[in-house]
Structure 1
Amino acid sequence: MRILSQFFAAPVLAFAGLLLLLAAPASAHDPEWSIAIHGGAGTMSPERMDAETRAEYEAALQAALDAGSKVLAEGGTAMDAVVAAITLMEDDPKFNAGRGAVFTWDGVNEHDASIMDGRTRDAGASTGTRNVRHPILLARAVMEDSPHVFLSREGAEQFAAEQGLELVDPAWFGTDGRREALDRYKAAQMEEQGMSQLAIDTKFGTVGAVARDSNGNLAAGTSTGGMTGKRWGRIGDSPIIGSGTYADNRACAVSATGWGEYFIRTNVAAEICARMRMKGESAKVAGEAVIAEMGALGGNGGVIVAGANGDLAFAFDTTGMYRGRADSEGLNEVAIFAGEDGGEDD
């Protein structure tokens, strides 16, 4: 028996070693957790942004990034981290989501949001709500507490009330700056003059977050007030799973910001994940390729991407995108304009 045990010991140990090797991370340098956020992309320029305004936006981005990072550093889930970052930005009037959302043509604030769990590919979304303080929490409730994926308007508000989510007076969302933007929009008579939305609003303020937690699970979320002066119940890409938000543990998590009609037509978020999963492209390469495809049709905007290995990437075709990223390896940066972070080398 001793001879047999010695004969089999070496192969058994070798097989055990192989199993450990296969179970090990692909790279010793992959972060344990990572998170990226955005606060919108658009045509803002350094020359037109004074130092005080820039500092305010950078501080707001850092606060949201820190909120999500804290969740992940304490062993929390990617889903909780995404929600923590987005709810903070929904309360900040500097961004076009929640308080500070843009006005529709009829002078009201309407909110869209979506969220997706990369582990299960469960998803939730809502559109056209006017009294839900945190639309991203409503999207999560739709995912977790309803049999549906997408709720709209009064029905979504009724569901929010039944779930005990915080409701506020619709007037709470409006700001003077957004009202003035609507006045400029109407004065320009954009439809008759063929002007671009970008000629009126210098940025898209949609907010979003993507994250990978220490268990390797991905999540993505997006929240917005839409486009200034939107009409006829227009819905953009932000609440549409696959266009503005997507997460799949096999590939990546994506949140988008920009001209929604073009993001819908190219199914931007899901397309990026498909390229990463099927073609093996990196987050940066896939993101840039799909943004270029969308841009060729005439759209503008950007994405944040978290890869299954924890890589983080930004891709945008505008002069800037409010953004930030952090991971367990010590990465922590926020940026506004192109070329201001390490993203160019991803």
Structure 2
Amino acid sequence: MSGAVDWALALHGGAGTILREHLSPEDETRYRAGLEVALAAGRAVLEAGGTALDAVEETVTALEENPVFNAGKGSVLTAEGAVEMDAAIMDGASLDAGAVIGLRRVRNPVRLARQVMEHSPHVMLAWQGAEDFARHMGAETMALEWFVTGHRSTQLAEARAANVVSLDHSDGKYGTVGAVARDRNGNLAAATSTGGMTNKQPGRVGDAPLIGAGTYASNRSCAVSATGHGEMFIRLTVARDIAAMMEYQGLDLAAATYRKVHEELPRIDGAGGVIAVGAEGAPVLSFNSEGMYRAAQCEGAAPIIAIFEDAPQDGDPEGTGK
């Protein structure tokens, strides 16, 4: 792409049954503050002329550092009371990608995913192999106690008592974080990170680290990060399909995301949403649940920070916030 283009950035912190009456003013303030901090981290990169890849890494790292979100420090607990964290990152310019699965000690999984992309011949490393690679790369690690918050311990106890596997909250909030960006050179990137599901069977993997399911980026079409019931997003290869509809069917970004999120996912009872950005224009933030923690900003425009479904979003074809 010749000439400078306007940068754009979007992020999410999970989707699901997020209703005003279920969220206390204090919790809403914490979520909005966390979204604002993460948006500022990515925006600083793009405003300085940095790359989309750096922007999504910094944005997701900020979300991983915030215990209110289900990634990094805030990761939910498995049935064994441990954390198993997954992350992926993809460069739309080169189609290079990196992913990690089943991390138990790495502080920022998204940073390790990028190191897999840049310092190994592989796209994905899992469990002990990923932990060994983290030690080799000198990645910062933390003791289990650093990850285990009182809130997550309570969630696990409730899930065990009910004998259920919970997607972050019993109210159906699907916990994943992610970011997509376009830099001034027109390059796109996406990153996604998650702690998975409360009380999940150890070894369970969702869509977040799977390139084409929960994370995808190509300069030919768009960058996508998903949040929702991972098994459904895997079955429909949601992220790559949105890009493919743009590349091969000529759909614009809003139409492609709407078809996938509002028409195809509901057919298999898939709930959640995506954030996406294309070669031009505003990001699209599309979800079929009652809410999605989200934020977005384009160069020269005011930031958007929203939680509930009644807040309209740039790029929303229906103007409803979905």
Residue 247 (structure 2) aligns with:
277
Q: Is 1:172 aligned with 2:172? A: no
Residue 12 (structure 1) aligns with:
none
Residue 56 (structure 1) aligns with:
30
Residue 40 (structure 1) aligns with:
14
Given that residues 87 and 193 in structure 2 are in contact (C-alpha distance below 8 angstroms), is that contact kept between their aligned partners in structure 1?
yes
The correspondence of residues 321-332 of structure 1 with structure 2, limited to 5 A, is 321-332=292-303
Once residues 110 and 92 of structure 2 are traced to their aligned partners in structure 1, the CA distance between those partners, rounded to angstroms, is: 16
Q: Which amino acid aligns with 1:252?
A: C
Residue 221 (structure 1) aligns with:
191
> Offset at 1:280?
2.1
Once residues 279 and 247 of structure 2 are traced to their aligned partners in structure 1, the CA distance between those partners, rounded to angstroms, is: 10
Q: Which amino acid aligns with 2:64?
A: E
- Taking every aligned residue pair, what percent have the same amino acid on both sides? 48
Q: Is 1:132 aligned with 2:103? A: no
Once residues 315 and 308 of structure 1 are traced to their aligned partners in structure 2, the CA distance between those partners, rounded to angstroms, is: 18
Residue 258 (structure 1) aligns with:
228
Residue 341 (structure 1) aligns with:
312
- Give the alignment's TM-score, normalised by structure 2: 0.94
Given that residues 69 and 327 in structure 1 are in contact (C-alpha distance below 8 angstroms), is that contact kept between their aligned partners in structure 2?
no
Once residues 13 and 215 of structure 2 are traced to their aligned partners in structure 1, the CA distance between those partners, rounded to angstroms, is: 14
Tell me, what secondary structure is at the counterpart of 2:73?
coil
Q: Is 1:97 aligned with 2:88? A: no
> Offset at 1:330?
1.3
Once residues 87 and 37 of structure 1 are traced to their aligned partners in structure 2, the CA distance between those partners, rounded to angstroms, is: 12
Q: Is 1:244 aligned with 2:218? A: no
Superposition CA RMSD, Å: 1.7
Q: Is 1:76 aligned with 2:47? A: no
From 265, 269, 280, give the equivalent of 1:309: 280
> Offset at 1:187?
1.2
Given that residues 283 and 311 in structure 1 are in contact (C-alpha distance below 8 angstroms), is that contact kept between their aligned partners in structure 2?
no
> Offset at 1:24?
6.9
Tell me, what secondary structure is at the counterpart of 1:241?
coil
Q: Deviations over 1:117-170 (max 9, x none)?
A: 000000000000100000000100000000000000111011011111111112
Once residues 329 and 296 of structure 1 are traced to their aligned partners in structure 2, the CA distance between those partners, rounded to angstroms, is: 39
From 243, 251, 256, give the equivalent of 1:286: 256
Stretches of structure 1 that go unaligned for 5 or more consecutive residues are 1-21, 26-30
Q: Which amino acid aligns with 1:338?
A: E
Tell me, what secondary structure is at the counterpart of 1:99?
helix
Q: Using a 3 Å threshold, how does the CA distance of structure 1 residues 212 and 188 change in structure 2: closer, same or farther?
A: same
Given that residues 80 and 202 in structure 2 are in contact (C-alpha distance below 8 angstroms), is that contact kept between their aligned partners in structure 1?
no
Once residues 71 and 110 of structure 1 are traced to their aligned partners in structure 2, the CA distance between those partners, rounded to angstroms, is: 29
Once residues 109 and 261 of structure 2 are traced to their aligned partners in structure 1, the CA distance between those partners, rounded to angstroms, is: 26
Runs (4+) of structure 1 exceeding 6 A deviation are: none
Given that residues 167 and 173 in structure 2 are in contact (C-alpha distance below 8 angstroms), is that contact kept between their aligned partners in structure 1?
no
Once residues 331 and 176 of structure 1 are traced to their aligned partners in structure 2, the CA distance between those partners, rounded to angstroms, is: 36
Tell me, what secondary structure is at the counterpart of 1:190?
coil
> Offset at 1:342?
2.8
Relative to structure 2, which stretch is displaced further, 161-170 or 145-154?
Answer: 161-170
- Give the alignment's TM-score, normalised by structure 1: 0.88
Q: Deviations over 1:148-195 (max 9, x none)?
A: 00000111011011111111112211111111111111111238xxxx
Once residues 298 and 143 of structure 2 are traced to their aligned partners in structure 1, the CA distance between those partners, rounded to angstroms, is: 37
> Offset at 1:44?
1.7
Given that residues 164 and 199 in structure 2 are in contact (C-alpha distance below 8 angstroms), is that contact kept between their aligned partners in structure 1?
no
> Offset at 1:198?
8.0
Q: Which amino acid aligns with 2:241?
A: E
Q: Using a 3 Å threshold, how does the CA distance of structure 1 residues 80 and 201 change in structure 2: closer, same or farther?
A: same
Once residues 302 and 309 of structure 2 are traced to their aligned partners in structure 1, the CA distance between those partners, rounded to angstroms, is: 18
Once residues 201 and 128 of structure 1 are traced to their aligned partners in structure 2, the CA distance between those partners, rounded to angstroms, is: 25
Compare the two structures and name the one with the higher helix fraction.
1
Once residues 201 and 232 of structure 1 are traced to their aligned partners in structure 2, the CA distance between those partners, rounded to angstroms, is: 22
Q: Which amino acid aligns with 1:109?
A: V
Q: Using a 3 Å threshold, how does the CA distance of structure 1 residues 76 and 310 change in structure 2: closer, same or farther?
A: farther
Once residues 33 and 64 of structure 1 are traced to their aligned partners in structure 2, the CA distance between those partners, rounded to angstroms, is: 16
> Offset at 1:331?
3.5
